[in-house]
């Protein structure tokens, strides 16, 4: 395939549309996508699936009306001459209802307003040399554009990318941006899959963000939601009720119908959307939200199909496809030829839950099955998921599938993410719920571990601002959302306690949104130093960088203490000692993992208790009189240089 140019989208992505409405090849017509509004030499070509309608017309902002011709399979299409990029339009259905385009590329007045024609070739890319991302060695960073900076825009976020690169971040994972109603929201109730929300800027502002990220060496992965659409501004049923199904259910709304009779156009909408983000915005991958409720019994699951389409759209670039899956189904990241879906990575809630209990002592709701014990932390490092097919008491059912064969980088691990921070009474950061020493030590465990680590916005600078659940809905819907949120949090007895339950933040209150916004003054130098040094170790130390490929093992040393050992072919092993409890003082510890390579001793290569990070000093743990592991601390040890003579 030809290398992409700097001037436009990476893959031509041209399709020839058959009478049945399916994309049948790349050799004909000039349409980039099978649906939506696209520029031609003389105007704009429109195509939409509306099998529930007899007629569909384009009503342009200037008042001109263009009738679309029906096609077999429920599609309508045609060219409107004399209009161009920037034109606003709606579809008029059966001569009556005016509705935005289901494949709108931009909604400048929000989801209830007109759609706008976009010319993606106008943006001048500068990233022709960017080759994409491979999973090994990545450090992810989840951010919400609206709260990442005071500006809450793509340009505001772009200004921070150089700082993230200096910390050691290699890829930002952007929370969903598909258009949604109101002035603020998380983005998971998007209703226009192809339209980046007007709240953060124009589509070219998003392109500029990606271009800038590539310029400083950072990839961009977008969180996409294919399990439902939001409750306000979703007009797909006006074109056809067949977009959705009642054969399945989600907690958030009707799911798409991916496997019913005549569902090919529904599959097309989502599959082509995955390719669109990769091609037209030069994205480096997608994070698929809540894949456990993307229901599909087709011969080829839609997740597998959209993953294939995304990689096809990337052309010569490599991209990352990451899934969130509450049951932690390992088949998502197994190769297609082994019965999997061919994705690259899965979020690992098991590490988060075990670490959170270890740091806070709270075992309630979905933390009930976790002890926060050293054995759990060792097992995650050695085996990945903790639940791989055994009973999960909180849900009273089996959780997970065998996953011992998964490569360690295939699991994305974190101490914070948008959900887990917000699923608390006040959206507290985990650093505010434990001691500074424990938090530094667990941060070392996360950032040196063999998985793919992920930080949540502000974590690297020690931000203490909360991240709350916020959603700006119309009044009657806001009441339902507020009640639903309160009901969800009742699973936590501490939050449901009488002295707290009436103090929960209103998602629709602008103050809730404002409190979640980061500021430049949030940075704490000692926390930034901690993250920079750990990520430099992860990048530069050849043993840590290998992510456990030559072998990794671990031992429980005490009630809150453990050791992890990375093996190296040349004997240059690494040993991480983690103690979340009181000082551990022993005359000896009978465990071979603590023995240094033959003829050498252990030297402290890094310590969470260095004064640079706010610690109290780092005496060597092994001394002639025995062993002393400092409490609330982590140390990375490396073999001493061999003695000469």
Please state the domain extents for the chain. Answer: 140-537, 547-639
* CB-count exposure of residue 123 (10 Å: 0-12, 13-18, 19+): buried
Beta strands across the sheet bearing 43-49: 36-39, 43-49, 75-81, 69-70
Q: Which fold has domain 140-537?
A: TIM Barrel (3.20.20)
Q: Which residues contact 215 (CB under 8 A, 6 or more apart)?
A: 126, 127
pLDDT given for residue 522 in this prediction: 76
DSSP 66: E
CA Rg, the chain, in Å?
26
- Going by C-alpha positions, the residue among 301, 574, 633 that lies closest to residue 440 is 633
The contacts found for 152-156 with CB under 8 angstroms, 24 or more apart, are: 152/199, 152/200, 152/517, 153/200, 153/201, 153/205, 154/200, 154/201, 154/205, 154/206, 154/208, 154/209, 155/201, 155/205, 155/208, 155/209
pLDDT given for residue 488 in this prediction: 74
Which residues are tagged catalytic? 289, 324
- CA–centroid distance for 29 within its chain: 35
Alpha carbons within 13 angstroms on the beta-carbon side of residue 23 total: 21
| Cβ atoms 94, 54 nearer than 8 A | yes
pLDDT given for residue 502 in this prediction: 62
Enter the tokens of residue 572.
Answer: 């240059």
pLDDT given for residue 6 in this prediction: 35
State how far the Cα of 146 lies from the Cα of 163, in Å rounded to an integer: 18
- Going by C-alpha positions, the residue among 375, 372, 310 that lies closest to residue 341 is 310
State how far the Cα of 23 lies from the Cα of 219, in Å rounded to an integer: 29
Bridge partners (DSSP) of residue 223 are 287
pLDDT given for residue 503 in this prediction: 67
State how far the Cα of 633 lies from the Cα of 618, in Å rounded to an integer: 9
* CB-count exposure of residue 247 (10 Å: 0-12, 13-18, 19+): exposed
Enter the tokens of residue 162.
Answer: 């150089």
Placement of tokens 């879906």 in the chain: 341
Residue 438 phi, psi (nearest 5): -60, -45
pLDDT given for residue 423 in this prediction: 85
Greatest extent of the chain over all pairs of C-alpha atoms, in Å: 95
| pTM for the structure as a whole | 0.94
Q: What is the CATH number of domain 547-639?
A: 2.60.40
For the beta carbon of residue 120, count every other beta carbon within 10 angstroms. 19
pLDDT given for residue 496 in this prediction: 67
pLDDT given for residue 340 in this prediction: 95
CA distances from 515 to 426, 512, 544 (A): 10, 5, 37
For the chain, residues with pLDDT lower than 50 are 1-29
Indicate the SS3 state at residue 411: strand
Indicate the SS3 state at residue 196: strand
């Amino acid at each position: 395939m030809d290398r992409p140019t700097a001037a436009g989208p990476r893959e031509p992505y041209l399709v020839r549309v058959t009478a049945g409405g399916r994309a049948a090849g790349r050799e004909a017509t000039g349409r980039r996508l099978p649906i939506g509004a696209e520029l031609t030499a003389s105007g704009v070509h429109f195509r939409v699936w509306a099998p529930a309608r007899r007629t569909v017309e384009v009503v342009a902002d200037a008042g001109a009306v263009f009738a679309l011709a029906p096609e077999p399979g429920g599609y309508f299409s045609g060219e409107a001459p004399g209009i161009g990029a920037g034109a606003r339009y709606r579809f008029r259905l059966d001569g009556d209802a005016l509705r935005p385009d289901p494949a709108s590329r931009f909604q400048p007045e929000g989801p209830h307003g007109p759609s706008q024609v976009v010319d993606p070739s106008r943006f001048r890319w500068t990233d022709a040399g960017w080759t994409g991302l491979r999973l090994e060695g990545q450090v992810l960073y989840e951010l919400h554009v609206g709260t990442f900076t005071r500006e809450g825009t793509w340009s505001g976020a772009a200004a921070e990318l150089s700082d993230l690169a200096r910390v050691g971040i290699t890829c930002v994972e952007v929370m969903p941006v598909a258009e949604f109603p109101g002035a603020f929201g998380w983005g998971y109730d998007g209703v226009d899959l192809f339209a980046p929300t007007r709240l953060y800027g124009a589509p070219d502002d998003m392109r500029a963000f990606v271009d800038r990220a590539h310029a400083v060496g950072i990839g961009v992965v977008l969180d996409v939601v294919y399990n439902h659409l939001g409750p306000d501004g979703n007009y797909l049923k006006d074109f056809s009720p067949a977009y959705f199904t009642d054969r399945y259910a989600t907690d958030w709304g009707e799911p798409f119908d991916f496997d019913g009779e005549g569902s090919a156009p529904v599959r097309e909408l989502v599959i082509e959307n995955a390719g669109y983000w990769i091609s037209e915005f030069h994205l480096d991958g997608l994070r698929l939200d809540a894949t456990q409720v993307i229901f599909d019994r087709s011969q080829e699951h839609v997740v597998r199909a959209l993953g294939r389409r995304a990689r096809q759209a990337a052309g010569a670039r490599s991209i990352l496809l990451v899934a969130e899956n509450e049951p932690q189904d390992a088949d998502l990241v197994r190769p297609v030829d082994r019965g999997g879906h061919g994705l690259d990575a899965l979020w690992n809630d098991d590490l988060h839950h075990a670490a959170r209990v270890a740091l806070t002592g709270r075992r309630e709701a979905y933390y009930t099955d976790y002890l926060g014990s050293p054995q759990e932390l060792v097992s995650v490092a050695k085996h990945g998921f903790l639940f791989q097919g055994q009973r999960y008491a909180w849900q009273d059912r089996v959780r997970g599938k065998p996953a011992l064969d998964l490569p360690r980088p295939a699991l994305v691990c974190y101490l914070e993410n948008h959900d887990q921070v917000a699923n608390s009474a006040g959206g507290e950061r985990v650093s505010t719920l434990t001691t500074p020493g424990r938090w530094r030590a667990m941060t070392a465990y996360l950032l040196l571990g063999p998985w793919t680590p992920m930080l949540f916005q502000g974590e690297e600078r020690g931000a203490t601002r909360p991240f709350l659940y916020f959603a700006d809905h119309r009044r009657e819907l806001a009441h339902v959302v507020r009640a639903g949120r309160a009901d969800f949090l009742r699973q936590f007895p501490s939050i449901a306690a009488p002295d707290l339950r009436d103090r929960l933040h209103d998602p629709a209150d602008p103050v809730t949104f404002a409190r979640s916004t980061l500021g430049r003054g949030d940075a704490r130098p000692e926390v930034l130093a901690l993250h920079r040094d750990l990520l430099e170790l992860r990048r530069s130390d050849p043993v840590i960088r290998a992510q456990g490929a030559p072998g990794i093992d671990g031992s429980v040393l005490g009630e809150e203490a453990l050791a992890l050992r990375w093996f190296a072919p040349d004997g240059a092993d690494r040993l991480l000692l983690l103690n979340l409890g009181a000082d551990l003082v022993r005359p000896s510890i009978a465990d071979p993992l603590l023995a240094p390579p033959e003829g050498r001793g252990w030297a402290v290569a890094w310590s969470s208790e260095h004064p640079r990070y706010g610690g109290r000093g780092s005496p060597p743990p092994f001394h002639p009189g025995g062993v002393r592991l400092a409490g609330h601390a982590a140390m990375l040890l490396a073999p001493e240089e061999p003695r000469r003579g």
